[in-house]
Structures are given as structure tokens and as C-alpha cells.
Amino acid sequence: MIFLFFPVLISSFFIFPVDLRTIHLDRNRALTYTVIMIYFDMDGVLARYDINGYLGETPPFKQTGSHYFAGLEADSVAMEMFKTLYKEIPGSVMVLTSVSIEREIRTEQTMDKILWLLKQFPDFDFGAHFLSTSTEKRNIISNIRGMSLNKKDILIDDWNANLYAWTANGGTAIKYLNGINSEQSWPGTVLYSNEGAGSCLNHFRTLWYSLNSSF
């Protein structure tokens, strides 16, 4: 079994670190379209969106040495959902997050996001369940598998561009309403953070059961 202990750039996305033979948990099972996979976004979902980090000619999140992502506040609702599902469905819950395409800041952002996740959730196995990408999120999964997404690939994200691209490639997208974004611009399934983790989990499980029964 081959492990890499340094960041590796493959087709504009980082795997850090990863077992190349079991990436995406089980390639053979994934190819049979039988396994539900849940991908949580970080910025605006697991971590609360901070508009100040994106202001200015060179916003803090783009500044090398700022370690912007290391200091973000966790979204307690999304984080409770993530921890619950991570334990309920072993091997099926991932973090899929965007990082800069600029080489000098990309590694810092990736490391900061991993350390942030471990601080919030020490039991998180980032070697098997963390993916960062500098391209569209749908591309990293499709590139790994060599085929399009399927309905059991579920993305929980707050940004419409990611949601539309994910569904266009065959996946199921859920918009997380974090108090800043709007449901009017998304016609699909939504989770309301202001309803609490229990309600969000119930809504998600309803979708999950319907997907299981359809295959």
C-alpha cells in the first residue's frame, strides 16, 4: 500500500496525504454506483463565511503568511451534521474544499484547512477523507474515477456555481443556507442552518433514503 506524506499536485488538485490505491475509499465499489458519498464544503458550510477575508485588492485569504483559514469560526450546525454523518456512515463522508490556483499560497491554505479540521474534530481521518482542489469540484471526483458523477454523489455547498456544475455532471447537490446566501437562486434541495442540526439531518436523511431506494 503506497502512501504519500507530502502534498502532491495532480491535474490541479491536491491529495494530502493519501493512499493512492484506496482514494475515494473504494474505487471498485464506487464504480458499481452502490455507495452514497457525501462531500462537505468548508468555506461557508463547515466554517462560517467571513466577508472581511475577501475584501481589498489583495484580500487576506490570498495573502501568503496570513493563515486566514486557520482562524475561522466553525458553523456549529454544519459541523454537528458532519460529525454525526461521519460516524453514522463510516467511509462515506468527505471534505471537498477549494484552494488557490497560485502555488505560493495553495499549500498554506491546504495545510491550514487540515489543521482547522483536526482542531474542530480530532477524530477526523484527513488522509482518507480530505480533498482540496484548484479546479471545479466535480472534476476532482470525475478525474479520480474516470467517469461522471452519479446521483449518490452528494455535495453540500453554499455556492451556486459549485452546485450547478455538480448536478450538470450527474451528482446530487444540496445548498446550505448559512444566513448570508439565498434559496431563491437555487431550485434544488436546501438545508436551513437556522433550523438547527437536528432538522438539517432529518431533511438530509429523507433525501438519503430516497436515493437508496432508487438504486
pLDDT in tens, 67-112: 888 889 999 999 999 999 999 999 999 999 999 888 888 999 999 9
pLDDT, mean over the chain: 82
Q: What is the CA radius of gyration of the chain?
A: 16
The pLDDT confidence band at residue 51, using thresholds 50, 70 and 90, is confident
| CA-closest candidate to residue 13, choices 147, 130, 150 | 130
User: CB-based contacts of 108: which residues, under 8 Å, 6+ apart?
Assistant: 64, 65, 67
The pLDDT confidence band at residue 210, using thresholds 50, 70 and 90, is confident
Instruction: Tell me whether strands 130-133 and 93-98 are parallel, antiparallel or unpaired.
Output: parallel
Q: What is the pTM of this model?
A: 0.82
Read off the pLDDT of residues 15-47 as tens digits, 9 standing for 90 and up: 443 332 233 334 443 334 457 899 999 999 999
* Structural domains in the chain plus CATH codes: 29-48+72-98+120-213 (3.40.50.1000)
pLDDT of amino acid 27 = 40
Amino acid identity, residue 81?
M
pLDDT of amino acid 4 = 34
